[in-house]
C-alpha cells in the first residue's frame, strides 16, 4: 500500500501522461490514477486471500466502467440509482485490458483477481483505453498480486503519410490507419486494427513504430515500480 502522494509524468505524443499514486483507493492491493490530456482513469487491482474452491481455471475479472459524469452528463431528470448496461466501446475496452494482462499471470492461481478501470473524466478528444491499460498495468505491478508485468498499449494513426501516436478522435476521422497494440518490451500480445486499403508493408511499419513508442511507456512504468518495491 502506498500511503504518500506521488506524481510522475511522461511526454507522450505531445501530451502529458501523468500518474498519481497514493491518492485514491488505498484499500486495494494496488491502484493508480492516470491522466492523459484531460481524460482521467482510476485503475484498481484486488485479489482474494483465499483460493476459490472447485474451480479449474484462473478466475480473473476485468471491468471497464464508464460514467456519465465523466463527460459532464446527468442521466435523466430523475435520480437514477444505477447506470445502464455497458456500451459496446466499454465492452471492447474491457476485453482489450483482459487480453493484454491475462497472459502475464500464472494460470495455476485460483485466487479471484479483479481489475477495475473507472473513467473519472473524459475530455472528448483522448480515448481512455490507452491510459486505462497503463493504469491496470501499474495497479498490478505495484500490488502484491503475482504478475509478470508491466505491459502497455498505444494507438497509431497515419495522416498524410506521417504516423501519429494516440491520435485524438478528430484525427482518427482523417487517418487511414487505426491501429491499437499492447504488449511488453519483447513481444506484442494483442493487435486491433482497421485501415482504408493500406498495404501490408505499411501496416507492418505502423506496428513496428507503435511498438517502439510502447517501450517508452514500459520504461516509464519500470521507473515508477523501482521506487515502490
Nine cell digits for residue 208: 513496428
Please list the rounded mean pLDDT of every run of 10 residues in the chain (229 residues). 86 94 92 95 96 88 80 55 70 91 93 95 91 96 94 95 94 94 91 90 95 96 93
Q: Is residue 73 part of a domain?
A: yes
Q: Is residue 12 part of a domain?
A: yes
Question: What pLDDT is attached to residue 72?
Answer: 62
Could you give the C-alpha distances from 197 to 78, 169, 177, 178, 194, in angstroms and in order? 47, 20, 9, 12, 9
The whole-angstrom separation of Cα 109 and Cα 126 is 35
Span 123-136, pLDDT tens digits: 889 999 999 999 99
Kindly state the DSSP code that residue 71 receives in the 8-state scheme: G
Q: Answer whether 149's CB lies under 8 Å from 100's CB.
A: no
Diameter of the chain measured on Cα atoms: 56
Span 33-47, pLDDT tens digits: 999 999 999 999 999
The whole-angstrom separation of Cα 128 and Cα 191 is 17
Q: What is the CATH number of the domain that holds 182?
A: 3.30.230.70
CA atoms lying within 13 Å on the CB side of residue 173: 3
Q: Is residue 1 part of a domain?
A: no
Q: Answer whether 160's CB lies under 8 Å from 173's CB.
A: no
Total domain count for the chain?
1
Domain that holds residue 175: 6-227
Question: What pLDDT is attached to residue 205?
Answer: 96
Q: Is residue 89 part of a domain?
A: yes
Q: Is residue 197 part of a domain?
A: yes
Question: What pLDDT is attached to residue 222?
Answer: 96
Span 146-170, pLDDT tens digits: 999 899 999 999 999 999 999 999 9
Question: What pLDDT is attached to residue 90?
Answer: 82
Please tell me whether the peptide bond between 54 and the residue prior to it is cis, using omega within 30 degrees of 0. Answer: no
Answer whether 0.75 is exceeded by the pTM.
yes
Q: Is residue 125 part of a domain?
A: yes
Q: Is residue 116 part of a domain?
A: yes
Question: What pLDDT is attached to residue 100?
Answer: 94
Question: What pLDDT is attached to residue 92?
Answer: 85
Q: Is residue 64 part of a domain?
A: yes
Amino acid at each position: 500500500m502506498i500511503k504518500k502522494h506521488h506524481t510522475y509524468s511522461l511526454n507522450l505524443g505531445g501530451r502529458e501522461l501523468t500518474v498519481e499514486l497514493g491518492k485514491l483507493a488505498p484499500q486495494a492491493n494496488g491502484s493508480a490514477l492516470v491522466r492523459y490530456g484531460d481524460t482521467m482513469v482510476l485503475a484498481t487491482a484486488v485479489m482474494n486471500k483465499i483460493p476459490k474452491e472447485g474451480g479449474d481455471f484462473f478466475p480473473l475479472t476485468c471491468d471497464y466502467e464508464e460514467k456519465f459524469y465523466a463527460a459532464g452528463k446527468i442521466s435523466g431528470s430523475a435520480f437514477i440509482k444505477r447506470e445502464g448496461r455497458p456500451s459496446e466501446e466499454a465492452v471492447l475496452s474491457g476485453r482489450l485490458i483482459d487480453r493484454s494482462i491475462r497472459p502475464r499471470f500464472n494460470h495455476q492461481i485460483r485466487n479471484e483477481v479483479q481489475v477495475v478501470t473507472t473513467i473519472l473524466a473524459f475530455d472528448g478528444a483522448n480515448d481512455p483505453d490507452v491510459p486505462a491499460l497503463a493504469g491496470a498495468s501499474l495497479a498490478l505491478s505495484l500490488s502484491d498480486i503475482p504478475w509478470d508485468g508491466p505491459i502497455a498499449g498505444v494507438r497509431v494513426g497515419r495522416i498524410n503519410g506521417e504516423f501519429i501516436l494516440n491520435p485524438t478522435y478528430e484525427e482518427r476521422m482523417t487517418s487511414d490507419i487505426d491501429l491499437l497494440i499492447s504488449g511488453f518490451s519483447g513481444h506484442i500480445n494483442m493487435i486491433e486494427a482497421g485501415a482504408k486499403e493500406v498495404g501490408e508493408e505499411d501496416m507492418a511499419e505502423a506496428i513496428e513504430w507503435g511498438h517502439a513508442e510502447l517501450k517508452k511507456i514500459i520504461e516509464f512504468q519500470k521507473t515508477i515500480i523501482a521506487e515502490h518495491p
